[in-house]
């Protein structure tokens, strides 16, 4: 007596009869969130950068202005930037 072994329902693959019954939908990675506090409303999609920080949470312009006011500290800052660009 031979019994046919069938896969468990969790592993069964369902295929449509015709390709016209298939709809390709992008995954959730491509969905834009509706209203999120983590969404950057000023995001520039043309910049080529995939992630841009939200200025409200990552703004250090006050500290930068403080550094640039002091001439010696500004010279040190410029030297650091130049050194990093040479690497």
Percent of the chain with pLDDT over 90: 11
Between residues 11 and 31, the one the model is more confident about: 11
User: 């040190």: which residue's tokens?
Assistant: 76
Between residues 84 and 20, the one the model is more confident about: 84
Whether the predicted pLDDT of 74 surpasses 80: yes
Q: Say what the pTM is.
A: 0.36
In three-state secondary structure terms, 62 is helix
Read off the pLDDT of each residue in 43-61 and give the average, rounded to a whole number: 73
Domain ranges of the chain: 54-87
Between residues 74 and 31, the one the model is more confident about: 74
């Amino acid at each position: 007596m031979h019994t046919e072994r069938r896969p468990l329902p969790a592993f069964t693959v369902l295929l449509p009869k015709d390709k016209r019954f298939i709809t390709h939908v992008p995954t959730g990675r491509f969905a834009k969130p509706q209203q999120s506090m983590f969404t950057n409303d000023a995001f520039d999609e043309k910049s080529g950068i995939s992630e841009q920080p939200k200025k409200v949470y990552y703004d250090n312009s006050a500290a930068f202005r403080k550094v640039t006011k002091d001439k010696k500290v500004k010279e040190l800052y410029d030297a650091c930037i130049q050194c990093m660009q040479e690497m």
